[in-house]
Structure 1
Amino acid sequence: MTSNELTTTPDQAETPAVTGERAEWLDALAKHRHFLRFTARDLTDEQAGQRTTASELCIGGLIKHVTEVEKAWVDFILDGPSTMGDFTSMTEDDWADRNDGFRLLPGETLAGVLDDYEKVALRTDQLVSTLPDLDVTWPLPKAPWFEADAQWSARRVLMHIVTETAQHSGHADIIRESLDGAQSMA
């Protein structure tokens, strides 16, 4: 199975029920995605792009980042580390582009990043439901934050996606509370 084979969600009538470990992964992903999306409820594009803390983070940017991360890790599960590049040779411009993934840029909208997130989530859910083996393993890409010569299974990558989503849902909740007092996870 390659990343190009995961483009649409299969018809639910033709898809057998997902049970066991895979159902638990789908449940964990759905729960944390819900909290992240819920944090953005009723916001304008301006509010979604607003910084409310000393951090550079904003709610729209967090959703955009989580979307990019989830997509990249699903590509990794399917096609290996070459899909992610070599982080050890990144230039200042590369890092600036990476930082743009944490904010809404001119022309980007909250509705647009939420729509992108939904598409990526559907693709991930399809992978969790259909991947023949959650033990498929690849070496991690070269990056200063990864242990040299480490490998992750699809299962470990899913754990990382859930963790990343949960962590950034908490960040978004703090930003939202600072923005207008609304809380999502309290």
Structure 2
Amino acid sequence: MTSTETRTAERDDLVETLDSHRWFLTRTVEGLTDEQARLRPTASELTLGGLVKHVTATERMWATFVVEGPSSFPAYDESTAGDWAAEFVMGPDETLAGLLAAYADVAARTDDLVRTLPSLDLSHPLPEAPWFTPGGTRTARRVFLHLVAETSQHAGHADILRESIDGQKTMG
């Protein structure tokens, strides 16, 4: 199938909605220094750079899941909990510009997948993890809807953090 054959209003709506929420997140971090992106201005451990890094990793993992299935998720247990937590940390060698570039690359891949996947009904079993129902499955459609929710939620978190740093508001 060509991308034209799989483009539908539903797919266009998914891409447009993802793009809208991505814009809120990336707009929120616009103009920050790397040092500001690493600040923890609230009682939370969250940082703006860490949120961008997490949303990128999450979108990458779920997009890979749509294509490859549960093997795209790393194992979760006590030995890997630190790796999962590190996904929220902007490391000292990382820059906000680099994190945003990685996010743009992942977003482009996801958008292409939404537009060209033969069917949004494609489904895979979920991997074993404490946050998934044992034996559960996810369709591509549900994965993309989850990415909308994930991005939207973290864009809201980012707005609170940014306002705490310098008073700037993106979403209100």
Of 43, 47, 50, 1:54 maps to 43
Render the CA deviation track for 1:44-97: whole Å, top value 9, x for unaligned: 00001110101000011000000000000001000000111332xx224x2122
- Where do 5+ consecutive residues of structure 2 fail to align? none
Structure 2 residue 129 is the aligned partner of structure 1 residue 143: yes
Residues 14-163 of structure 1 mapped to structure 2, 5 A cutoff? 16=4, 18-87=7-76, 90-92=77-79, 94-163=80-149
Which structure 1 residue ranges, 5 or more long, are not aligned? Answer: 1-13
- Please give the per-residue CA displacement for 1:88-116, whole angstroms capped at 9, x wherever unaligned: xx224x21222111121111000000000
Equivalent residue letter for 1:95: A
For the residues of structure 1 that align with 2:110 and 2:116, how far apart are their CA atoms? 10
Q: How far apart, in 2, do the equivalents of 1:138 and 1:16 lie?
A: 25
How much is the aligned-residue C-alpha RMSD, in angstroms? 1.4
Moved over 6 A (4+): none
Q: How many residues align?
A: 170
The one-letter code sitting in structure 2 at the alignment partner of 1:75 is: T
Q: AA paired with 2:78?
A: T
Instruction: Give me the whole-angstrom Cα distance separating, in 1, the residues matched to 2:120 and 2:83.
Output: 32
- Give distance in 2, aligned partners of 1:137 and 1:16: 22
TM-score by length of 2: 0.95
- How many percent identity over aligned positions? 49
